[in-house]
Every structure is written in C-alpha cells, then in structure tokens.
Chain A
C-alpha cells in the first residue's frame, strides 16, 4: 500500500474513531454536561496540540483565547439580539484575533522567553478582565447566558434546553471542527509545521518565514480555543472570571500532554481522561488532583507519547504487528525543551 493511501485511510480512521467516541458517551455516561465538557475541552486541547505537538510551541496563553470566547458569546447573547450561530462565529473570531496579538509578540522569542511571554499575557488578561467589570462582570463574571434553540424564522429546529440536547449540538460542532483541524494537520501548512517543530534553524534556511507560519498556527489555535470557550459558557450559563485565569491554560496544557502530542485525536483522549477520571476520583477523594500529579510525572518520565502512545503500543503488541510508526507519531523528542 502506498503512503498516500495509508494517509487517507488513517485520516478517515481518526474521524470514525471520533464519531464512535461521540456516540459512545451518551450510551455509557449519566451526565450530559460532563459529556459535553469532554468534547469542549477536547477542542481546546486540540488547539493547544496544534501549537505544542505540531509546531513545538508551549503556550500558556490558551486560557486567554478560551476566556475571550466565553466573554464574547456572553456579551453577544445577553446584550445584542444576535442569532446564536453568529454569536458563536464572533467568539471564534475573538479567539483568533486574541491569538494573533499574543502570537505576534510572543513568537519574537524562542524557548523559555517565548513561554514567559505567553505567561505574561495570561496574567495581563486576567487582571484586565478583573478590572473591567462593566464589560466582563469583574469578579462575578457574566451570568444568565441564555441557550437559545437553533431556529430558522421562528421555527425551532433543535432545542438546546436539556443537557443531552445541548450535547447533540456540541457533538456536531465538535465533529465539524475536528474534521477541519484534521484537514489543517494534513495540509501543506500542517506538514510544514512539523518541520518547524523538528528544526527551526533548517526550516528558516530552506526558505520558510517562521514567524508567519507560527502566527498562522496561533490564529487557528486561538479560533478553536475561542469556540471551546463559547460552548463552555453556553453550557454553564456563565462566563466566570475563572475562565480567564491562568489555571485554564494550565488545565488545557495538562490535558494535551496527558493525551499525547502525536496526533489531534489524542487530545480528546486527554480531555476525557482528565474530566471523567477526575469526576470519578473526586467522589472518592477530594484531594484527587494529587493523583493527577502522579499521572503527569509518569507521562513526563517515561511515556512521552501520552495515553495515545500507550494505547497504540498495547494495540500493536496485541496484534503482534511490528509495523513502522508513522512519522508524525514518532515521539517529538525535542518538543518539550524546544518550546
């Protein structure tokens, strides 16, 4: 089988897996809100993965784009009578614009200083949100965000009242966004990002404008994260100050790393693990986050391809197959220290 065929099969394979995952959650889970949250943070982690796994950029600014999405949808739905899909689109644009600004400054540096710049932006955004209560509700956040049904000309197509009804909507948005991100990942652009991740010096030397590539990666990442923030705000009905906090960035990063940075679907795995296992553990032990620390240590020390890599090794062993790993699945060994 030639590589192009394998790539195509692989691409659809992931989309099918995502579809199976989306269908399996309502069958196995009690809470529609938790299931929605898994998909929403899955989107945010994919946005983060595009930067970390594909480009080698460790960004602590993801919470900014998430918060921008939340605030934007809260403002548009509570203050202006905009149709909900349009409000969602605006949140995507807000995330993208925020990411363009943060990216434009942060990519001027590499390594530690790049990370510090994204961290500085995250702190600034938090205090900016805090000190503008007229716009963001300050400490209280924005509350009573409505969840209007999908309607055309007064005719309701899809009510979003119950958690599982909303899950259905989130699932469709998720699958479309995932398909689009898969396209990006397999595109000329996505493949060139891998070169930037592997070796920036050479990528520049063979003619690529690294800043432009990184900026575009940032914009796409910000758009997806803004979408996730908006969906989350609609789910909970509030856009809290907490979503602008540094903690959101950290959570998104942790999910991404736990899932694995080799491919985008791994991020859904990371989000599911973090939220579902966290939900379960929190009923057993209120200090469950300690255990999460242990999981992160295990992954950082010896399982750098994340849960996805673990499942893949188990799968390979079960099948006894020794097929060579696809290049993009190879451990991006330099990722951590490069970013």
Chain B
C-alpha cells in the first residue's frame, strides 16, 4: 500500500561539511506520502544533521532537496513551514513562560506568519485558532492543562506538546526528532499511539532510538552510518539485514527478539 503512494520528499546527494569533517556525505532519501519513515543509526551517524538539512534549520553544503514538487534546497526553515513541513526537537524546545494553549496557537499561526506583524488586533476570534488548538489539545490529552505555563508541565507532557507543536501547523510532513527521548516507560505507549495516528493525515519522518517503536510503526526504515545510508527497506527486511546487524549490536536492532 505504502509503495503506491507518491513521493512527498526527496533528498538527492545531500552533503554537510563542517570544515574538513563530513557529517553527511551524499545521502539519498525518498519519503512517500502518508507513511511513517524512520531514520535510525548509531550515535554520530548524521541522523539529526540530516533532519536539519531536510527542515532547513541549517543549510546544506551540497545536494538537492525537493518537497512536494518544489526545490526547497535554498529555503530557510520558516519558508519551508509555509510549504507544509513541521518539526519537533530532540531536546524539548517550547515557549516555557507561555501557556500550552498559547504555544499551540503560535504554532498554528506560524503558517500565516504575515499575520504576526499585525500590531493592532489581539489574537481573538478567528485569530485565536481555537479549532486547531482544541483539536490538537484533545489529541495530546492535554485539555486540562491548556492554561498551564509550559514550564510547569511534566517531562512526558512536554514531549507530547513537542509533537503537538508540529501538528498544530497542519503540515503535510511531520519531522519528529527522538520524540521519546527521556520518557518514562509509562508514557511510551501514549507516544507510540500518537505517532501511529498521524499517518492518516500526515507523512511522518522519524528519528528514534527505541527499536520496539521503530519496528512496530514504520513503513520504511533507513539505516545510517557515518554520514551515509547503510540500508533501507521494510522493518522486517532491516531486522534481518546482515550489514545492519554488524553495524549495530544485534539485540538493539531486533529489540531482543532475535
């Protein structure tokens, strides 16, 4: 089913060099619409750097990125949001003194950033984005905390809001950078369900260390090593791939099931 869907995002030969060090040396990636596409690999493999390239947080040193039919290689992150990209951060990055509702409203408003220059009208009525905010709050299960300053939320709640910030923009593609990092075992299932539910309306690109989650919810898995793509395929193919097994500790990739 997933192979039938069109390609939403394509990276061709993406490179990133810091002086002489090549963090990425020619990565190709094709992400199909309405799938969960995971990127895994040992620490330092270049996963987060690749994310920065795809979302425009940092500029590429070489290569090309096409999103939804547009060449976005040279566009900064805030322009790519207008194209329908949204991301979450590996280290929680929220507006800590502002309430949950305001965080989501700001994220929703980000798709029409010209409005942010309106220095006359307060954000009420249509500008309050109440529909989107309520929908995302419900999805995150944070309705009761809507008016709590984000700095007062628990870590698990902040991690969910981190995904919600991406969701509030109503994007075509959501980039999640280790959404479960630092999460307690009790919160993991909530997060897994949340991500799994996203692909009906969105395309998900996921960096994740928790192999149980990756193997359970991914349609495609890309394995990276030292700035290159080592292997790519369905989760079960990746699980039994010899190169992947030798690059990784065996039990890490298989979740201890092999």
**A residues apposed to B, CB below 8 Å:** 3-4, 7, 183-184, 186-192, 194-195, 198-199, 201-210, 212-213, 216, 220, 327-328, 330-333
Contact = CB atoms under 8 A, between A and B. Distances in A.
A334 to B, nearest CB: 8
A187 B121 contact: yes
Nearest to A7: B122
Contacts of B57: 205
A198 B123 CA distance: 18
B147 interface: yes
A261 to B, nearest CB: 12
Given A195-B95, A204-B78, A205-B87, A327 B116 contact: no
Contacts of B96: 198-199
Contacts of B149: 327, 330
B236 interface: no
Interface string B95-129: 11111001000110111010111111111100100
Interface residues of B, number: 39
A191 B93 contact: no
Contact of B77 (A4, A192, A205, A213): A205
A327 B110 contact: no
B165 A206 contact: yes
B97 A207 contact: no
Contacts of A186: 122
Contact of B111 (A207, A213, A216, A328): A207
B76 to A, nearest CB: 8
Given A188-B123, A199-B94, A206-B169, 17 more contacts: A4-B124, A187-B121, A188-B116, A189-B116, A189-B118, A190-B119, A191-B102, A198-B96, A204-B76, A204-B77, A205-B93, A206-B86, A207-B110, A213-B116, A216-B117, A216-B119, A330-B149
Interface of B: 55, 57, 76-78, 81-82, 86-87, 89, 93-99, 102, 106-107, 109-111, 113, 115-124, 127, 147, 149, 165, 169
A91 to B, nearest CB: 20
B98 A207 contact: no
A209 B98 contact: no
Given A207-B82, A209-B78, A187 B120 contact: yes
A6 to B, nearest CB: 11
Contacts of A212: 117
A206 B106 contact: yes
B116 A208 contact: yes
Contact of A202 (B55, B76, B93, B111): B93
Contact of B122 (A188, A208, A333): A188
Contacts of B97: 194, 198, 327-328, 330-333
Contacts of A199: 93-96
Contacts of A332: 97
Nearest to A191: B123
Nearest to B104: A206
